[in-house]
Amino acid sequence: MYSTKTTSILPKIISGVLAAVLLLPMLIFTALPNTMFGYNSAMDQGVADFTASARRLTNAYQNIAQKNQSALERLVNSILPGFSDYDDYQVTDGSGGMNQNWLIAIGSVRYKQDLNVMDGDALEDLLFGKLDYSASITDRVLNISVWDLTPEAYMDRLGFSQAEKDWASLLYSVMEEDQRVSIGDTDGTGYYGTDYGDIVFSNAETPVVYYNQTDARWGNKSYGKTSTIGRAGCGPTALAIAVASLTNNKVTPYDVAQWSVANGGMCEGSGSYHSLIPNGGRHYGLTVTNIGRDGKKLVEALQEGKLVIAIMSKGHFTNSGHFIVLRGVTEEGKLLVADPASVKRSNKEWDLRIVTSEASRKVGSAGGPFWVLSP
């Protein structure tokens, strides 16, 4: 019997293309082999080879729409031989729903952060692997529906160990809360040219030594290989504020940034892992208690003269992710803060509701989004 098979794959707009292009720097950071950070010179052949591989990967992600289509066609072509009694087929494409940051994080773990294998073909394999489908015949038409697995289901399919799942989740969390700030996020003269001098906030139970991450004294100092304290050092700055205020150790953001780099608290190019706060706080002799999202415990801690470090998501304090210090509560119940990127925001009083609602919801093994620190 002669049959004509026509393809009627429903076109879709790949909304993640622009997002992928914007996220390419983070993609490259998550692909960096650990040995890369040991190189002494940007002239090393290893760095040149890495750059070439990064460019190839960049081009692959810029063509992600085409690779999504190739992965879809590859899946359809693998399904068709399993059916014979049909005259036509149609495909309903519901893929493309996986968050781009999850794709990057899972790919980074799957390919062991090795840019030598993370090329265009590897990206297409990654896109193909996340697809699932159902197929049935109605009136001699084969109907194929395609969708994305959830990140958890995809990691299970790839056989990730729990440690690998945790690593992918950590990368995803940091990408979603990119802590890099722009000049417009700060209130100095720009380009890390402002010396903020010695600022102490004394209008709460505990006087707080204030540091600004963009301060000319350390803003241009490196935080890792690819960023600076001014650009991505809100974590070390917030911790330095707490340590300098609660102990006799007047550490600076530079001091804490150095410790963070040496002890796994820094996420290259993006900021700091949540673990910097509990691990770094204890290193400097503080008691650190995770209180989750408990607003009542937060207020009680501030009333007792303790400080609270919070990791914030997009809202009044940041466009992505940002560590701040909560330093007190007024008689009217307003919160006082020490924002490492802004003296102006630090001089305002804030509704508890704003702080609790905008605090990060991406909580991992390090706890958060609120950590209480006390001597």
121, 155, 176 - which closes a domain: 176
| 232 and 169 belong to one structural domain | no
Is 3 inside a domain boundary?
Answer: no
Q: Are the CB atoms for 126 and 103 separated by under 8 Å? A: yes
pLDDT for the residue 15 = 32
Calculate the dihedral angle through the C-alpha atoms of 66, 70, 76, 78, rounding to the nearest 10 degrees: -170
pLDDT for the residue 188 = 67
Is 1 inside a domain boundary?
Answer: no
Q: How many domains does the chain have?
A: 2
| 337 and 220 belong to one structural domain | yes
Print the domain residue range for 144.
16-176
| 34 and 108 belong to one structural domain | yes
Q: Locate 74 and state its tokens.
A: 């590859």
CB atoms within 10 A of CB 340: 33
The type of residue at 188 is: G
| 102 and 195 belong to one structural domain | no
Q: CA Rg, the chain, in Å?
A: 25
pLDDT for the residue 206 = 97
333-336: long-range pairs with CB below 8 Å, 24+ = 333/299, 335/302, 336/201, 336/203, 336/204
Is 11 inside a domain boundary?
Answer: no
What pTM, to 2 d.p., does this model score?
0.64
| 187 and 335 belong to one structural domain | yes
Q: Locate 191 and state its tokens.
A: 């380009």
Residue given tokens 């007024």 in the structure block:
330
Tell me the β-bridge partners of 335: 329, 350
| 237 and 323 belong to one structural domain | yes
CA 362 to chain centre: 9
Is 355 inside a domain boundary?
Answer: yes
Domain CATH code at residue 342: 3.90.70.10
Is 78 inside a domain boundary?
Answer: yes
What is the residue-level pLDDT of the chain in tens, covering all 375 positions? 223 333 333 333 223 333 333 344 444 455 544 333 333 434 455 555 655 666 666 666 666 677 888 999 999 999 999 998 899 999 999 887 777 778 888 988 898 877 667 777 888 899 999 999 999 999 999 999 999 998 899 999 999 999 999 888 877 776 667 788 876 678 866 667 889 999 999 999 999 999 999 999 999 999 987 789 999 999 999 999 999 999 999 999 999 999 999 998 988 767 898 999 999 999 999 999 999 999 999 999 999 999 999 999 989 999 888 999 999 999 999 999 999 999 999 999 999 999 999 999 877 678 889 999 999
Burial per residue of 133-157, b for 16 or more beta-carbon CB atoms within 10 angstroms, e otherwise: bebeeeeeebbbebbbbebeebbee
| 38 and 94 belong to one structural domain | yes
Is 4 inside a domain boundary?
Answer: no
| 232 and 121 belong to one structural domain | no
Is 305 inside a domain boundary?
Answer: yes
